[in-house]
Structures are given as C-alpha cells and as structure tokens.
Amino acid sequence: MYEKVLLLINGEKSMDEKQQVMQQVVPILEPNIQKLTIRQTFSKEEFQEMCQEATHFSLIIIYGGDGTVHLAINELGKMDAPPPLAVLPGGTCNDFSRSISIPQNLKKAAQTIMSNKIRNVDLAYVNGRYYVNFAGVGLITEASENIDPQLKSSFGRLSYFVSAIQQFQQSQSQPFYLEVDGEEIEEEAEMVLVMNGFYVGTHQFPLPDISVQDGLLDVFVVKESNLQMIREWFSLNYIYDGNQESQIRHLQAKKVHVETSEPKDVDTDGEVYMQTPVDIHVIPVKLKMVVGEEF
C-alpha cells in the first residue's frame, strides 16, 4: 500500500486520451493508494515544476512517452533522495519502459506498478543533462528530426522505420573522434550511439549483455549502414560477432567523449538539446524505478 502517490499526465494528451487513462488506470491504482493526486500539465515547464515539488510523495507515476520520461529523470536526478518513478506508457515508442519490462497495455502496466517491484537503475549524464535510454549522433538524429508528423500520427512507431530508410538513402559517413574510457578512436561512421537502455524505435538491440544496472554505457559505432543491415537489425536478426572490422563496433565504458569535425545535433531519448562535442558518463544506480515482473 502506497501512502501518497502523484499521477502526472502529459499535457499534450487529448481529453479523450486523458479520460481513457482515468477509466483504465485509476480503478486499479486507487485500492492500493491511501491518497492519489492526479495532475495534468500543459507545458514542459509546468511538468518540470510538478516533478520538482514531488519530494513528499512516496511514488510518482507519469503517463507519457520517452520525452516525458526524459523530463522527469532530469528533475528527479537533481534530488538527493528522489521518490521512485513509475511509467505508464503513453508515447509512440515507449522505449525505456520496454527496457524495464513494463507492459505496453495500460491496465497491465498499472497492475505491474501496483506490484511494487522497485529496482535501482543507472542514468547517463551528458553536458549538463541526464538521459536514461540513449544518446545518438548521425543517422539516428537525422531520422528522428525528419519524421513526418502526419505519418507519425497515423502510423506511430512504423514512422521511425520509414524515416530511417529515407535517411539511410541520403546518409553519408563522417569522421568521429571518440575517447572511450581513455582509449582514443578515430572512425568514419554514419552513426554513434551511447546506450544506457537497449530499445530504439521499439526494437531491442540484439545483444544479451546490455543492462540498465551494470554501471556501464554501451557504445555502438555504425561504420556503414545498408538496407539489409537495417532490416536485420529491426527484426533482431543482425548478428554482432565482435569483429573490429564488422560494420557495427560495440564497446562498453563508463566515460565517453564524442567529437565531430563540425557541430552535430545530439539526440538524447528522442529530444535534441545540444550539439557535439559531448562528454558522457554513467551514474550507477542513480534512480529507483518500478520495473516489470520479467526485469
């Protein structure tokens, strides 16, 4: 039984969607909570303020997508002892909620949250901001920035795959300079990803040892992409063999520095707040989160 719980609903949601959340989720939450406070925010600033003021709650539940999770962890990450965070998936991809095994069905997600399985998870810190899932430069940023809003509205997560294919056809490799735990790497690549989670665009990375609890970041240097590789990656059939000559190079590290020959946008959890160069480091077990049964 939780004593005081705050349910935050992203302000971009329509009234119909808010009603759906209330009808499906609240009847599951209320019997397990002494006092449930429900707030809908109407701007990023208001959402951030609500998170800042939520220190006296025993649990914060947010309804939204990866951008909403990103906003929340950037406020909670500043606190010495933040309350645990739970996520009701309400976005297009909901990648981090997938990484912590939260069901994508609203009712099942609410039931999972009430099971009270709380674990510590790592956060990553880049140029003054936290992120929880990934930071990326190159193809992934271009694909995210060039998604057709109408296509995204109509087809949801499929729009990311379509945009990736479109950007792949136009993409060119560029020089990257990396420092990975002090090891200097210079590479021509189309994309660099520094992962904490292991889902992008609803698709799981095809490696068994990525964890949000291992105190490590997973660095992927995609040297050259092609349509077949993208298809295999998105269908989980791509096999990474650890060969340095492979088209995808994978390293693990606690600290990563990324530079490009000219400033490039950096996508963090689907949001762009900065450009290269960036310094990234992992902060082990920084935040308590409600996780799924299979986590």
Q: Which residues are catalytic?
A: 271
Q: Which secondary-structure segment (H or E) carries 294?
A: none
Spatial contact of 154 and 120, defined as CB atoms under 8 Å apart: no
Spatial contact of 143 and 79, defined as CB atoms under 8 Å apart: no
Spatial contact of 119 and 289, defined as CB atoms under 8 Å apart: yes
Structure tokens belonging to residue 284: 């082990």
* Peptide bond just before 277 cis, omega within 30 deg: yes
CB count within 10 Å of CB 150 equals 9
Q: Which secondary-structure segment (H or E) carries 192?
A: strand 191-195
3-state helix vs strand vs coil in the chain, percent to 5 = 30, 35, 35
